[in-house]
Amino acid sequence: MSTLVALLIVLALLMTIIGGETGIRSFFSVLINTLLLILLALLISWGINIPILILIFIPLKLVTIIFLGTHDYQVAKNSFYSALCICLAVSGLILVFEWLAQAAGLGPEAGEILVGLSQMPGLSYPLIAVAVAIFSCLGAVAEAAVAMSSGLLEIKKHNPMITRQQLANSGSKIGNDVLGTAMNTILFGMFGSFLSLFLWYIRLNYTIGEIVNEKMFVNEILVITYSLIGVLLTVPLTTVFLTRSMVKHEVKNEEK
């Protein structure tokens, strides 16, 4: 048994024991998302149109992340709509800044590894960079949307008479906590995965100017920035979606 299989078994057992049915669904959500990423990479390598793949796989991944990982349908539905809107908006931002940055492709660090291999595989490196950036920020956006929706719905359940304005104020307070934890998670994740490259820069005496203009560093910083912007936009939009849906639900109940 390999280490990876052993860790997957331990993860499945812990998620089942702690999360019950929701934990099992979340575990399968992780597996399905991994398979979707592998499928996406294969389709891109086969020359399938990358923008079309992005438009297809964004909702697919959000559905598996949110609906399989959440037991409350109303939370999942609201989170999906807000996360989808934010992802589409951030995708437009990514297209603009990836074009301005011109940081797609392979950096000089990959030169020795790719000696003797073609670095022109017939694929668009800028579009691949766009796809990587979009799918890197999906998880952070979906997590923030679910956290906001779950918190607001719990408040509504415990205080059914709460007004829309009070709910919006509560959403702002919850959003502050969500933003703090989400941003720390994104930043520490970046520093953890990027530590070895920072050591590379230091040992090779890179100047600040060389680091700032290095492709791998620029790509990492851009992905983090997109994720942070996505989380920032998710908090108010999720609050607006949820408060409006609750108002419409109350109006329908009164009409009945």
**Angular region, 48: left φ>0, alpha ψ -120 to 50, beta rest:** beta
d(CA 83, CA 97) in angstroms, rounded, equals: 21
Q: What is the pLDDT along the chain (256 residues), one digit of tens a residue?
A: 678 888 888 888 888 888 787 788 888 888 888 888 889 889 988 888 888 998 898 888 888 888 877 777 777 888 888 888 888 888 888 888 888 877 776 666 555 555 455 555 667 778 888 888 888 888 888 888 888 887 877 787 777 777 777 777 877 778 777 777 777 777 777 777 777 777 877 887 888 887 777 777 788 888 888 888 888 888 888 878 777 766 555 545 555 5
| Angle, CA 107 vertex, CA 105 and CA 87 arms, to 5° | 45
Alpha-carbon torsion (212, 216, 222, 227), positive or negative? negative
Decide: 178 and 148 in contact? Cβ < 8 Å: yes
Q: What is the pTM of this model?
A: 0.79
CA distances from 65 to 44, 79, 148 (A): 22, 10, 15
Do residues 69 and 29 make contact, with C-beta atoms less than 8 angstroms apart? yes
Query: H/E element holding 141?
Result: helix 125-158
> 3-class SS at 54?
helix
